[in-house]
Amino acid sequence: ATKVWSADSEGEAKLWDVQRAAAVSTVRVSNMTKAKVTSLEAWPSAHVVVATHPEGLAYLDTRAGIVAQQQYTKTAPACVSLLDLGHGMMFTGIERTLCQYNTR
């Protein structure tokens, strides 16, 4: 892989070009000041990255470099994971609950 996604405690997700050692795209995942991104999961085939933050989930459109959708939760999600690359099932951990989403 020549490109890698990362996130920071300021609420930004960045796409890095490893060969150039430079950020090629930056997306603000939340309007909150210092909204720490706690987890990232990428769907390369759908051109989407999901980020968890204190307000909920942000769905990032990797082609446009924008937040395509926000999903707000009462409690901050701790993590997000796909069942498998290319599979439509996504899971998030919110408090003691494992939430399943069908993203197809």
Cα of 26 vs its chain's centroid, Å: 12
Q: Are 31 and 22 in contact (CB under 8 A)?
A: no
Tell me the whole-structure pTM to 2 decimals.
0.86
- Grade residue 1 by pLDDT with cuts at 50, 70 and 90: low
Dihedral angle, C-alpha 45, 101, 84, 5, nearest 10 °: 60
Structural domains of the chain, ranges and CATH numbers in brackets? 3-102 (2.40.128.630)
Task: Give the tens place of pLDDT for each residue, 11-28.
Answer: 889 999 999 989 888 898
Task: Give the tens place of pLDDT for each residue, 22-67.
Answer: 988 889 887 766 678 989 998 888 889 999 999 899 999 999 989 9
Task: Give me the pLDDT at residue 11, please.
Answer: 86
Task: Give me the pLDDT at residue 34, please.
Answer: 64
Instruction: Note the helical H segments in 1-104.
Output: none
